[in-house]
Structure 1
Amino acid sequence: MLFNSYQFIFLFLPIALAGYFVLGRLGNLAPVIWLALASLVFYSVSNWQFVLLLLASIAFNYVIGLLLLSKWLGPGPRFAALAIGVAGDILTLGYFKYAGFLAANLNAIFSTGLTLNILLPVGISFYTFTQIAFLVDAYRGKVARYALPHYALFVTYFPHLIAGPILHHKDMIPQFERAEAKRPDAHLILCGVIIFAIGLFKKTCLADGIQPLVSLAFGPNAPTFDQAWIGALAYTFQLYFDFSGYSDMAIGISLMFGIFLPLNFNSPYKATSIIDFWRRWHMTLSQFLRDYLYIPLGGNRHGPVLRYVNLMITMVLGGLWHGAAWTFVVWGALHGAYLCINHAWNNYGPAIAPRFAPVANAAAFILTFLSVVIAWVFFRADSMATAIHVLSKMANPTQIAFGRVEMTYTLFIIIYAAIALFAPNTQAIMGYDHKNRTVGPAPGALPLRPLLLYASAAALAFGILGIQQQSEFIYFRF
Structure 2
Amino acid sequence: MLFNSHVFILAFLPVMLLGYTLLGHTVGRRPAQLFLVAGSLFFYGWWDASYLPLLIATTVFNYMVGRRLTDAYRRNTPSRRPLLAFGITVNLAILAYFKYATFFVENLEALTGLDFAMRAVVLPLGISFFIFQKIAYLADSASGKAPDYDFLGFCLFVSFFPQLIAGPIVHHRDVMGQFQRPIREVLTARNFALGVTFFTIGLFKKVMIADNLAPLAQASFVSFAAGEVLGAVSAWRGALAYAFQLYFDFSGYSDMAIGLGLMFGIRLPYNFNSPYKANSIIDFWRRWHMTLSRFLRDYVYVPLGGNRKGPTRRYLNLLLTMLLGGLWHGAAWTFVLWGGLHGFYLMVNHAWQKLRATLGWTAPAGPAGSLVARAVTFVAVVVGWVFFHAPSLGAALDMLQSMAGMNGLSTVKAAGTVQGVTELAGAAGGGAAAQDGRLASLWSFVAARSSDLVLVLLLLVAWFAPNSQEIVEAADRRRGWLAIRWQPTATWAVVVAGCLLATMTQMSKVSAFLYFQF
Please tell me the TM-score bracket, short chain as reference.
over 0.9
Contact 1:210 1:238 in 2 (8 A): yes
Contact 1:67 1:73 in 2 (8 A): no
Offset, 1:37: 0.7
Mean CA deviation greater in 301-310 or 455-464: 455-464
The letter for the 2-side match of 1:64 is V
Secondary structure at 2:495's aligned position in 1?
Answer: helix
TM-score, reference length from structure 1: 0.94
Secondary structure at 1:163's aligned position in 2?
Answer: coil
2:211 corresponding residue in structure 1: 208
Contact 1:17 1:257 in 2 (8 A): yes
Of structures 1 and 2, the one with the larger relative CO (CA 8 A, separation 6+) is 1
Contact 2:194 2:259 in 1 (8 A): yes
| Matching residue within 457, 466, 471 for 2:506 | 466
Contact 2:192 2:263 in 1 (8 A): yes
Q: Output one character per residue of 1:314-357: Cα deviation in whole Å (capped at 9) or x when no partner.
A: 00000000000000000000100000000000011344474853
| Matching residue within 79, 84, 100 for 1:82 | 84
Contact 1:216 1:228 in 2 (8 A): no
2:22 corresponding residue in structure 1: 22
TM-score, reference length from structure 2: 0.87
Distance in structure 2 (CA, Å) of the matches to 1:19 and 1:86: 36
1:11 and 2:2 correspond? no
Unaligned runs of 5+ in 2: 418-444, 476-482
1:37 corresponding residue in structure 2: 38
Distance in structure 1 (CA, Å) of the matches to 2:485 and 2:514: 33
1:176 and 2:179 correspond? yes
Q: Output one character per residue of 1:140-169: Cα deviation in whole Å (capped at 9) or x when no partner.
A: 001111110100110011000000000111
1:394 corresponding residue in structure 2: 403
Unaligned runs of 5+ in 1: 434-442
Secondary structure at 2:219's aligned position in 1?
Answer: helix
Mean CA deviation greater in 445-454 or 186-195: 445-454
Structure 1 residues 26 and 309, CA, compared in 2 at 3 Å: closer, same or farther? same
1:121 corresponding residue in structure 2: 124
Q: Output one character per residue of 1:235-285: Cα deviation in whole Å (capped at 9) or x when no partner.
A: 000001001110110011110101100000111000000000000000000
1:152 corresponding residue in structure 2: 155
Offset, 1:371: 0.3
Distance in structure 2 (CA, Å) of the matches to 1:181 and 1:209: 41
Distance in structure 2 (CA, Å) of the matches to 1:215 and 1:445: 35
1:372 corresponding residue in structure 2: 381
Contact 1:44 1:51 in 2 (8 A): yes
Structure 1 residues 392 and 180, CA, compared in 2 at 3 Å: closer, same or farther? same
Distance in structure 1 (CA, Å) of the matches to 2:149 and 2:155: 10
Distance in structure 1 (CA, Å) of the matches to 2:83 and 2:364: 58
Distance in structure 1 (CA, Å) of the matches to 2:301 and 2:352: 20
Contact 1:274 1:338 in 2 (8 A): yes
Distance in structure 1 (CA, Å) of the matches to 2:283 and 2:126: 27
1:2 corresponding residue in structure 2: 2
1:453 and 2:453 correspond? no
Distance in structure 2 (CA, Å) of the matches to 1:455 and 1:334: 42
Distance in structure 2 (CA, Å) of the matches to 1:284 and 1:80: 27
Secondary structure at 2:391's aligned position in 1?
Answer: coil
Offset, 1:449: 4.3
Mean CA deviation greater in 406-415 or 275-284: 406-415
Q: Which has the larger radius of gyration?
A: 2
Q: Output one character per residue of 1:37-81: Cα deviation in whole Å (capped at 9) or x when no partner.
A: 110000000121100000000011011011111258653211111
Distance in structure 2 (CA, Å) of the matches to 1:224 and 1:59: 54
Q: What is the number of residues matched between the two proteins?
A: 469
1:407 corresponding residue in structure 2: 449
Identity, in percent, stands at 46
Secondary structure at 1:219's aligned position in 2?
Answer: helix
Q: Output one character per residue of 1:7-52: Cα deviation in whole Å (capped at 9) or x when no partner.
A: 0000000001111111112122111111111100000001211000
1:438 corresponding residue in structure 2: none
2:471 corresponding residue in structure 1: 429
Distance in structure 2 (CA, Å) of the matches to 1:414 and 1:357: 24
Distance in structure 1 (CA, Å) of the matches to 2:486 and 2:165: 35
Structure 1 residues 450 and 23, CA, compared in 2 at 3 Å: closer, same or farther? closer
1:384 corresponding residue in structure 2: 393
The letter for the 1-side match of 2:494 is Y
Contact 2:471 2:486 in 1 (8 A): no
1:229 corresponding residue in structure 2: 236
Distance in structure 1 (CA, Å) of the matches to 2:259 and 2:82: 40
Contact 1:28 1:182 in 2 (8 A): no
Distance in structure 2 (CA, Å) of the matches to 1:353 and 1:26: 60
Distance in structure 1 (CA, Å) of the matches to 2:253 and 2:94: 26
